A and B are shown apart, each in its own frame.
Chain A
Amino acid sequence: DGGITQSPKYLFRKEGQNVTLSCEQNLNHDAMYWYRQDPGQGLRLIYYSQIVNDFQKGDIAEGYSVSREKKESFPLTVTSAQKNPTAFYLCASSIPPGQGNNEQFFGPGTRLTVL
């Protein structure tokens, strides 16, 4: 099956801890994205990567970090500097524009709760 997987489904973090959310895709997509979803708000872009070993900050990157060492993987680290990390985190991937229509496909999400 082709698709995007995210793990874990639920994650609990204590104050001051860094945690890493996993995102893997087997769609052979070059571009990958991380979004955050809060109740009553639209999804907001945290980081994106158009190609391996390259990534760019989105609208709300403070307190987050990413890496893109492999085409299939785009892990997100929520650091202790993120003041309000409790949210639903969604990973997406797409064929970059110019190679296709840039339709974005989403994973099942990780719900992060700070204790």
Chain B
Amino acid sequence: KQEVTQIPAALSVPEGENLVLNCSFTDSAIYNLQWFRQDPGKGLTSLLLIQSSQREQTSGRLNASLDKSSGRSTLYIAASQPGDSATYLCAVNSGGSNYKLTFGKGTLLTVNP
């Protein structure tokens, strides 16, 4: 059974700092991995998707990496801004018969001005 863990559970940083959010998963046989952002009381916004054959994806100030063999992904946020404050969720798609997403519990990020 796939399990996804995100560390840390919460992170508070000053504006302008570069930061890394971590995600680990127990079964390396994945189809892809998605990073999402969730604002309080809102739905999920897809940030980046990394296919199992890829090592990283970039979008603006965000860079996500994937190391399947070690069961890890990181989300790097450059030059953080107060508007980046949100919960960041990592989700693993293990393929198979339903291609469901298995989610971590998220990292609550606060960027202080």
**Segment touching A, from B11-19, B67-75, B93-101:** B93-101
User: Known: A101-B32, A102-B93, A103-B49. Contact between A108 and B101, CB under 8 A?
Assistant: no
A84: interface (CB < 8 Å): no
Q: B-side binding surface: helix, strand, loop or mixed?
A: strand
- C-alpha spacing A108/B93, complex, angstroms: 21
**What is the chain B residue whose CB lies nearest that of A103?**
B49
**A39 vs chain B, min Cβ distance (A):** 10
| B101 contacts across to A, CB distance below 8 A | 33, 35, 43, 45, 92, 104
In the complex, the answer to whether B100 meets A45 with C-beta atoms within 8 Å is yes
| B42 contacts across to A, CB distance below 8 A | 108-109
**A115 vs chain B, min Cβ distance (A):** 19
A-B contacts besides A43-B89, A45-B101, A104-B34, 8 pairs, CB < 8 Å: A33-B100, A44-B103, A48-B100, A50-B98, A58-B98, A92-B44, A101-B49, A106-B44
- C-alpha spacing A19/B44, complex, angstroms: 23
Q: Which of A31, A42, A102, A107 contacts B4 (CB 8 A)?
A: A42
Q: A-side binding surface: helix, strand, loop or mixed?
A: strand
Q: Which of B99, B105, B106 contacts A96 (CB 8 A)?
A: B99
Pick the 10 closest A-B CB pairs, nearest first.
A42-B103, A106-B44, A108-B43, A43-B103, A106-B43, A45-B100, A109-B43, A103-B49, A42-B105, A107-B43
**B5 vs chain A, min Cβ distance (A):** 10
A90: interface (CB < 8 Å): yes
In the complex, the answer to whether A111 meets B98 with C-beta atoms within 8 Å is no
- C-alpha spacing A96/B99, complex, angstroms: 8
B60: interface (CB < 8 Å): no
**B91 vs chain A, min Cβ distance (A):** 8
A56: interface (CB < 8 Å): yes
- C-alpha spacing A59/B101, complex, angstroms: 11
10 of the cross-chain contacts (CB-CB < 8 Å) are: A31-B99, A33-B101, A42-B102, A42-B105, A48-B98, A58-B100, A90-B44, A102-B31, A106-B46, A109-B41
